[in-house]
Amino acid sequence: MAGGKTTFFIMIFLCVVSVFYLMYGGHTKITEKSMYGGHTKRTEKSTLASIITALKQACIFPQVNIFDPEIVKLAGLNKPTLKCDDDFMAEITYIDGMTIRVNESKINDSKGLSHCAYRNITRETYKDYSVVFSQWSANFSKFITLSDEHEFIHVVCYGGKDKNAIVSKAFYSLVPKRKTLETLYKVKQRKREKEFKPLETLNVIGVALDGLPRHQMVRAMPKTYKHLTEKLGSFDFRLHGQIADNTFPNFLGLLSGKHYYSEVVKWWDFKKPEDAFDLIWHDFERAGYRTMYTEDYPIGAGFYWGNRYFLYPQTSYWNRPLELAMLHEPGFIRRKSACAGPRPVSEYQLEYLMRFLDTFPKSPVAGVSFIINLTHDDSTQAATIDEHILNFYNTLEAKGHLQRSVVMFFSDHGQRWGKIRETYNGLVESRNPFLLLSFPPWFLKKYPEIAKILRTNTGRLTSHFDTHQMLLDLMYFKGRQPTPPYRGRNGLSLFTEIPANRTCNDAGIPTSQCLCGQDVRRFLNVHSEQARTLGDALLTAVKKKSDPVKCAEYKLSKLIQVGVLSVPTASADEQKRFLVSRVRLTVEPGGAMFEGTVSLNLNTKQTSVGGNIERLNMYKGDDYDDDGGGNDDDDDDDDDDDDDD
């Protein structure tokens, strides 16, 4: 009898596994109508172990095909590698250590050379938007040596028939060794080693692309993705979530471990200096690391939108003065901010990061390069720098930096607008930034348990808070043992196994950004009474968020789609009483397209609109994140929901 029961339960178990396998694994194709037309197919292979784990898992992202033919048409995968030197004067100088040299092979392309000169660029004290230029240097025609106080320089060369025409412009970021600070760093490093006895000391390097979702990174950057996952064995965190829909709160979570909407907003507002954020750079500095931060848009990046500012640079090497100088040089930033003179803007960021690593080959460093302009407005532009990022990794490897570093390739948040965002795939991609971590092979071999945990966590729900906790672990690495710095209350280190039953709330991901179980069950007829009620509720909420003085009153242009969501955490009674839907509509004047989550109480007919209403097409003239104190990011569940009759 016992044997019969055992056989029965085994058969039941295998049936469940088989059903799950058909749903989420093998070669079986599942076709479901997408929220906005077309079909999705999933054909990923799965092992029995992963299926059993998934059966227990609390969070499963909506199943969409990254290479859906309709999405591929919109993804810009055939865009050529970005080149900027075909319509701008040649750069005939280059940096060799702390020397500016003239590349004589390029002089003929520049109509002859008379002489060059440079000037130094510095940050005006306490002023985050002002730079000071030195006097021009003595003229030189072959080379000139720089002193240690030079960090950011502007070089101009003259030639032509009258010898006074500008034939070349260039900007450079140097990494000078400051003798006084080097002594201090060595003392801090020795203190760290003696007091905390870390098992390993690794560089921490990050390359970030603004607003690029994981799926688009996989599609548009196949060379980089293949190199990372196949050659370097990088860990691809497939269920990585975001804290909010714009850069500022996501970067704040990554670099401080704090949630803006539930913590920082209690004691800080946008008119105050941002130095009080206690960013992780200060922790690295105390541990004896040299630090660097670089970004390519100095007036609209995550920490600078809306004229926000720091009183002091937050890292030892901070390229903001150079970026401001290039921005204000007439005609230098061009092609929708993708090019700076004859070079891609991203090249400046990666070159600075590489020079930073080259300058301190035997000392610990921590640095992040944030590439903003290229992908923020148009994620299809990622294809144009696939080769650039691949070359950066190849150079890291050739110079031996990969043997000494943990490298993070990541994005701050998903795609916020564009044609892909208007699809069901786009809804998923808007909340799934990418994170790939590369470790030295010797490290993974020496600490196999850490490697196993990282591999497990690639299939678990993670967030920027977890990355922050991992950075703290790396600072004073103790293997599986606790490390000293204050941990905060958000996140779990990626060196700790993330629970399979983790929820968005556990991960610090607000309801409005949560992808767990966000599948569309069915669609309402947009002409039905229920659909009209839900659409009216969203329109009313949009109007409340608009400035009646500056903006004409919005009127409904078209109710595009109403998709009923599955809510796996809701009770059976709640499932019967509430209809939770994702509503999309357009308004006039202006043709703005909005999307939001609206619930309808089927008994009382009352509606509730989630605080996070997204605009899916950009405002004309609005180029960057409206990161202001939560314009449409009231992310703490539904605290600011509107109840409409």
What's the pLDDT tens digit per position in 247-285? 999 999 999 999 998 899 899 988 899 999 999 999 999
Query: Over 60: is that where the pLDDT of 46 sits?
Result: no
Distance CA(23)–CA(29), nearest Å, equals 8
Q: What pLDDT, in 10s, does the model give residues 440-466? A: 999 999 999 999 999 999 999 999 999
Q: What is the mean pLDDT of residues 164-187?
A: 92
Q: With bands split at pLDDT 50, 70 and 90, how would you rate the model's confidence at 642?
A: very low
pLDDT for 465 equals 97
Q: What's the whole-number mean pLDDT along residues 356-381?
A: 94
User: Do the beta carbons of residue 318 and residue 373 sit within 8 Å?
Assistant: no
Please answer whether residues 345 and 374 qualify as being in contact, where contact means their C-beta atoms are separated by less than 8 angstroms. Answer: yes
The radius of gyration of the chain's CA atoms, rounded to the nearest angstrom, is 26
Distance set, CA 475 to CA 289, 362, 435 (Å): 9, 16, 19
Structure confidence at residue 619 (pLDDT) = 58
pLDDT digits (tens, 9 = 90+) for 417-426: 888 988 888 8
Q: Is 370 helix (H, G, I), strand (E, B) or coil?
A: strand
Task: Sort strands 555-565 and 32-33 into parallel, antiparallel or unpaired.
Answer: unpaired
* Residue 140 DSSP symbol: B
Distance CA 580, CA 585 (A): 16
372 near 301, Cβ under 8 Å? yes
Tokens found for residue 124:
């005006």
The two beta strands, 435-438 and 405-411, are antiparallel
- Tallying the residues shown for the chain, one arrives at 645
Question: Which helix (H) or strand (E) covers residue 191, if one does?
Answer: helix 179-196
Nearest to residue 102, comparing CAs of 83, 84, 117, 123? 117
More confident residue, 15 or 388: 388
- The letter for the amino acid at 375 is T
pLDDT attached to residue 437: 99
Task: Please give the model's pTM, rounded to 2 decimal places.
Answer: 0.82
pLDDT on residue 200? 96
**In this structure, is the dihedral angle defined by the CA atoms of residues 399, 400, 404 and 407, taken in order, positive or negative?**
positive
Sheet containing 343-344: which strands, arranged edge to edge?
A: 333-334, 339-340, 343-344
| Residue among 240, 225, 215, 214 at smallest CA distance from 72 | 215
- As a whole number, mean pLDDT of residues 137-155 equals 94
Helices marked H in 25-68 — which ranges? 48-56
Residue 570 pLDDT grade (very low, low, confident, very high; cuts 50, 70, 90):
low
For 179-513, give the CATH class. alpha beta
| Spatial contact of 583 and 596, defined as CB atoms under 8 Å apart | yes
- Residue 620 reports pLDDT greater than 60: no
Most confidently modeled of 473-487, 530-544, 604-618?
530-544
Q: Which 8-state DSSP code applies to residue 433? A: B
pLDDT band at 18 (very low <50, low <70, confident <90, very high): very low
Of the candidates 466, 580, 468, 559, which has an alpha carbon nearest to the alpha carbon of residue 517?
Answer: 580
Instruction: Give 211's DSSP letter.
Output: T
Q: pLDDT grade, residue 7 (50/70/90)?
A: very low
Give the pLDDT mean for 340-358.
96
Angle (CA) 182 186 190, round 5°: 170
C-alpha 430/C-alpha 419 separation (Å) is 12
Burial zone of 188 (CB within 10 Å; 0-12 exposed, 13-18 middle, 19+ buried): middle
Please say if the pLDDT value at position 547 is more than 60. Answer: yes
Q: Residue range 82-92: average pLDDT?
A: 93
Q: How far, in Å, are 132, 173, 371, 394 from residue 293 at the CA level?
A: 20, 12, 11, 21
In this prediction, residue 574 carries a pLDDT of 67
Q: What pLDDT is attached to residue 302?
A: 81
Mean pLDDT of the chain: 84
Tell me how far apart the alpha carbons of residues 439 and 477 are, in angstroms, rounded to a whole number.
Answer: 14
Q: Where are the domains of the chain?
A: 2-60, 93-173, 179-513, 520-644
pLDDT average, residue stretch 596-602: 88
Question: ∠ CA(278), CA(279), CA(282), 5° rounding?
Answer: 85
Instruction: Output phi, psi for 503, to 5 deg.
Output: -110, 170
How far apart are alpha carbons 37 and 427 in whole angstroms? 13
The conformation of residue 229, written as its DSSP 8-state character, comes to I
What does each C-alpha distance from 445 to 159, 226, 448, 450, 451 come to in angstroms?
57, 22, 5, 9, 8
For the cut 70, the answer to whether the pLDDT of residue 237 exceeds it is yes
Do residues 613 and 585 lie in contact, with contact meaning Cβ atoms separated by under 8 Å? no
The DSSP code for 104 is: G
Give the residues across from 120 on adjacent strands.
153
Spatial distance between the Cα atoms of 197 and 485, rounded to a whole number of angstroms: 14
CA of residue 154 relative to chain centroid, distance: 30
Q: What is the DSSP string of 437-484?
A: EE--HHHHHH-HHHHHHHHHHTTS-B-HHHHHHHHHHHHT--TTS--S
- Min mean pLDDT across 102-111, 519-528, 581-590, 594-603 is at 102-111
**Beta strands 290-295 and 317-318: pairing type?**
parallel
Question: Which tokens sit at 605?
Answer: 């007919």
Which phi and psi angles does 516 have, rounded to 5°? Answer: -60, 120
Contact 61, 516 (CB under 8 A): yes
* pLDDT at res. 332: 96
Q: In what order do the strands lie in the sheet with 365-371?
A: 235-236, 435-438, 405-411, 203-209, 365-371, 290-295, 317-318
